Amino acid sequence: MAKTVSTRILVLGTILVLFAAGCGTPKHTITVDKAVQRIDGYVQETLRSVPTSLRFGDRQVETDYDGGCVKPLTDSGFTGQINPDIVYKASVPASAEGEVRDFFAAVASHWKRRSAEVSSTRTPDGTPGLLSVHPFHNGYRLFVSYYPSRIIELGGVLDDCIWRYGAPQPTDDP
């Protein structure tokens, strides 16, 4: 009986140490400006490396998305952290829908050569739907999405929650 109690205390102590050692929100992260710069770098690398006649423009930067940035182990309580993302859009003329398949394949090929994890989905008619790329398993994800409205999006997102200025501000709740 004493051995069981000692084991439970040891396990509970280990869990508490692990929690205190790093399961809370980080004290320091990269800044939103640095994150946007890195995300855009991956997107721009893709555009430079993958030949296409698609013209991506309409750059949209989102730095206020806070979904999922909640206190660890509670799944609630917004911390003040954010997940920035960037999206570029291109309209696809009906005559260029084959270009969408080629673009998806070229993006996947480029990032696979760089040892990235790549996954994709297709619509029921076989048209590419979503391509997801995790470049270096470092918290960034690139994506290519194609919509029935003949809009293709190329973008990137930071998977991790970060502090806007690199550290919690007085109005944040780490």
> Which pLDDT does position 79 carry in this prediction?
87
Residue 154's pLDDT is: 96
Indicate if the pLDDT at residue 44 is higher than 90.
yes
* Mean local confidence (pLDDT), 29-40: 94
Q: What is the pTM of this model?
A: 0.77
Closest CA to 101 of 41, 54, 155, 49: 54
- Cα–Cα distances (Å) from 142 to 2, 62, 63, in that order, read 53, 15, 16
Residues 74/23, Cβ–Cβ less than 8 Å: no
| Cβ atoms of residues 120 and 131 within 8 Å | yes
Contact call for residues 140 and 130 (beta carbons, < 8 A): no
pLDDT of residue 9: 39
Looking at residue 133, its pLDDT comes to 87
